[in-house]
């Protein structure tokens, strides 16, 4: 599915939290692993690559690793997205907060990348457990009844198949809604789970939760079943115009104990 796993780093320990997650993806997808740094000036590129290689020599990874630096163009996020587009078949795995030589791995950069990307981005949030780097097991797919939220289902099916991760279709209802809605939503979630079972040949399950903070509720449920991934759209019934603090998507990233695979619906225009 992916031929290269690309992990942007910025020299900070926090940005390197994503390296182990990227390593696991590369190993399980039989893909190459590349560590990418965005630098402000061409003269800084060789030094940045040398520092990264030195760090790798101190803690070798279990898969072959390529190292490269790219000079900033327009923005850090756009530079990363353009690089992925040029190599083809790439998956970005990145920490969502951190500081370093270029201050590259920030929540705003994750947003910038998602705006510029046609493909998914794996966000490794502050609560993500590095010890749970094997992505087999359980995979959460949040839906909310909207067409936007369900655009991520083919990606979830592909990841479930490649990683041998059983999908869980999860819907969160407002506790103030009439309970009669449970039957309707359960039927909807159950139908999607059946479809995923047929596509992946895995025993997909479903769950309907209640809570006023959907992102947190999904993250807590993921933790309760020790899920290895959450796969979600950045848009849904709430009409989210962007991935931002307070959105359901970012709430999941902030609270989840596992990485969150985010994808902007392909029907939305790519933003410059």
pLDDT of residue 67: 96
pLDDT of residue 115: 78
pLDDT of residue 238: 47
- Cβ partners under 8 Å of residue 151, min gap 6: 233, 263, 265, 266, 267
Residue 55 sits in the same domain as residue 114: yes
Q: Is residue 96 part of a domain?
A: yes
Q: How far apart are CA 256 and CA 259, in angstroms?
A: 7
Q: Is residue 271 part of a domain?
A: no
Q: How far apart are CA 53 and CA 124, in angstroms?
A: 22
Enter the pTM of the model. Answer: 0.87
Residue 150 sits in the same domain as residue 247: yes
pLDDT of residue 250: 82
CB 143 within 8 A of CB 235: no
Residue 151 sits in the same domain as residue 222: yes
Residue 115 sits in the same domain as residue 149: no
Per-residue pLDDT of the chain (272 residues; tens, 9 = 90+): 788 999 999 888 888 989 999 999 999 989 999 999 999 999 999 999 999 999 999 988 989 999 999 999 888 888 999 999 888 788 999 987 633 444 444 456 777 888 788 789 999 998 887 656 677 789 999 998 888 888 899 999 999 999 989 999 998 887 766 455 555 556 888 999 999 999 999 999 999 888 888 889 999 999 999 999 999 988 655 443 333 334 788 888 888 999 999 988 776 544 44
pLDDT of residue 239: 40
Range of the domain at 245: 130-263
* Last-in-domain residue among 95, 124, 153: 124
Residue 259 sits in the same domain as residue 216: yes
Residue 110 sits in the same domain as residue 140: no
């Amino acid at each position: 599915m992916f031929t290269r796993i690309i992990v942007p780093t910025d020299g900070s320990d926090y940005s390197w939290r994503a390296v182990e997650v990227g390593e696991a993806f590369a190993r399980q997808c039989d893909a190459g692993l590349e560590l990418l740094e965005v630098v402000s000036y061409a003269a800084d590129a060789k030094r940045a690559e040398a520092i990264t290689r030195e760090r790798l020599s101190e803690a070798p990874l279990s898969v072959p690793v390529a190292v490269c630096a790219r000079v900033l163009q327009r923005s850090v996020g756009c530079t990363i997205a353009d690089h992925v587009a040029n190599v083809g078949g790439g998956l970005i795995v990145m920490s969502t907060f951190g500081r370093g030589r270029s201050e590259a791995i920030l929540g705003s950069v994750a947003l910038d990348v998602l705006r510029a990307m046609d493909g998914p981005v794996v966000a490794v949030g502050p609560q993500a457990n590095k010890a749970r780097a094997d992505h087999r097991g359980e995979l959460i797919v949040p839906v909310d009844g909207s067409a936007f939220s369900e655009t991520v289902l083919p990606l979830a099916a592909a990841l479930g198949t490649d990683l041998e991760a059983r999908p869980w279709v999860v819907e969160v209802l407002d506790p103030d809604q009439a309970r009669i809605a449970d039957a309707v939503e359960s039927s909807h979630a159950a139908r999607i789970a059946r479809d995923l079972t047929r596509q992946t040949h895995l025993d997909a399950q479903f769950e309907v939760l209640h809570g006023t903070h959907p992102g947190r509720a999904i993250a807590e449920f993921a933790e309760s079943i020790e899920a290895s991934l959450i796969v979600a759209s950045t848009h849904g019934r709430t009409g989210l115009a962007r991935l931002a603090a307070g959105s359901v998507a970012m709430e999941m990233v902030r609270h989840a104990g596992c990485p969150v695979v985010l994808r902007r619906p392909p029907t939305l225009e790519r933003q410059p």
